[in-house]
Every structure is written in C-alpha cells, then in structure tokens.
Amino acid sequence: MKVYEEMADVYDFIYSDAHDANMYGLEARNAKGPVLEVGCGTGRILLRLLKDGIDVTGIDISEGMLGILRKKAEKLGLKPEVMRADMRDFRINKKFKLIIVPYRSFLHLLTEADRKKTLLNLMDHLDKGGRLILHSYEPSKEEMECTGGYHHYESEDMEKQGVQCHLDWYLDYDRKTGVGHYRIVIRKEGKEQIFEMDLAFISTKETEMLLKSCGYKNIRAYCGFDYAPQVKGCPEVLWFAEK
C-alpha cells in the first residue's frame, strides 16, 4: 500500500506501543516451530521474536517499512528473514506452525474476495495442525457515527528518542460499505504530514463464517490480548483458528 511507503519514516511514532507483544511471544514459543508474521512492518513484533530465538519469517507489502526493519535489526545484531509480498498471493516454500496477522493488517483487505483469497493462502502455508492468529477490530457506536466527512476523534502527544510529536486522528465511516476512511495528521519538529488509509470493519459473525468457509477449525475469539472471552462491545478481537 502506498500509504505505508509514505509513512515508513514516521511509522514508529504513530504505532509505537507493544501491548500485544507478550501474547504473540507466548504463542510463538508454544508453537515449537517456524512462525510467519504477515504485515511485519518495521519489526515491532518480529524483532522481539527474533531476539527471543524464534524461527520467524516476515512479509510486508511495503519495501520502505522493511527497509526500516532491516536498519533496526542491523543495530541489534540480528539477521531477519523478511520479504516484500502481498498477503493475498505470496508463496514461501516452507510450512509454518504459527501464522500471526497483528495490528489489524487483515482489515486493509476491503473485499470479501480478497479476504477469502488471503485466508486460503495462509491455510496453504500452515503446517498440519498449525494455528492462525488474526487481529480484528469492532468499532464503537461513536466511531460508526463519524459519517458524512472526516470527524476528529482522538489526539495524542508522544516523545521518542527526545523527539516530540503530536497526532490527530480523523475518521469518516461509510455505513454502506462498512469501510472506515482514516486520516492521520502528525506534527513533528515543526512539520506536518497527513496520511490516509482505509480499513474494512468486519463483524464477529462475518469473520467466523469466513474462517469456517475457508476450512479453519477450532475457531475461537478473544477480547484483547490476555485471552479474555469475547463480549459485545470489545473493540480488539483476537481470532485463533487451526488448520
């Protein structure tokens, strides 16, 4: 996606938290075999797994993001196995015990056809009995009311390596298509940058049906990253499914 090429240099300011890292680390260790991260970006999760001695491979559609990952890895003395690829049709001559799709990357697929194509492709890359972990998102009632143009709904101030930046988030939700059009405005060192991206909000029922239609079994949904049962109104949904 073009937007990730544009924001590669500031991505770590926008998405710098690691609230999900412990869960992915635990699951990667328990997998006892190769792990694939889909949408590895600048290495927020992948580099942690690599430091822990996990056999992990990463793919991302943005070469700019992967370039940042490689620079970070070099400073850490790590040699990541990563490649530029599209989650819908990548091919790797390797089977994985665990495939993770963190930070809502799956929601960039705006059509059911692309979502199904991706899930079938991931299934092809799973070892027998392997598991998929998919991070989804349920928008709040307030977010779904951000229609008819961009609505400002969140601001953040943060500092990283002595550099301060301010973020403003805007959302225009299309009720007809279920797509959220996001605008991110970042102000850093006197400069302003604007990025726009789209995410398709998929209901819990739709996601479960899609996983089943693609042949996944033992499908479970959790609320957040500490294995709490999924309940209505929980925004961060973690899907676990097996081949």
Which stretches of the chain drop beneath a pLDDT of 70? none
Rounded CA gap, 16 and 14, in Å? 6
One domain, residues 118 and 161: no
Cβ neighbour number for residue 109 with a 10 Å cutoff: 19
Distant-in-sequence contacts of 156-159, Cβ < 8 A, 24+ apart = 158/13, 158/16
pLDDT of amino acid 10: 84
One domain, residues 31 and 123: yes
Nearest CA-CA partner of 68 in 47, 52, 85? 47
pLDDT of amino acid 9: 85
The whole domain housing 22 covers 2-138+203-242
Q: Which helix (H) or strand (E) holds 50?
A: helix 46-51
Q: Specify the pTM.
A: 0.95
One domain, residues 8 and 115: yes
Cβ neighbour number for residue 201 with a 10 Å cutoff: 19
Domain count, the chain: 2
| Helix orientation angle between 112-125 and 204-213, rounded to the nearest 10 degrees | 50
pLDDT of amino acid 160: 77
> Three-state SS for 175?
coil
pLDDT of amino acid 234: 93
Look up the CATH number of the domain holding residue 88: 3.40.50.150
One domain, residues 19 and 94: yes
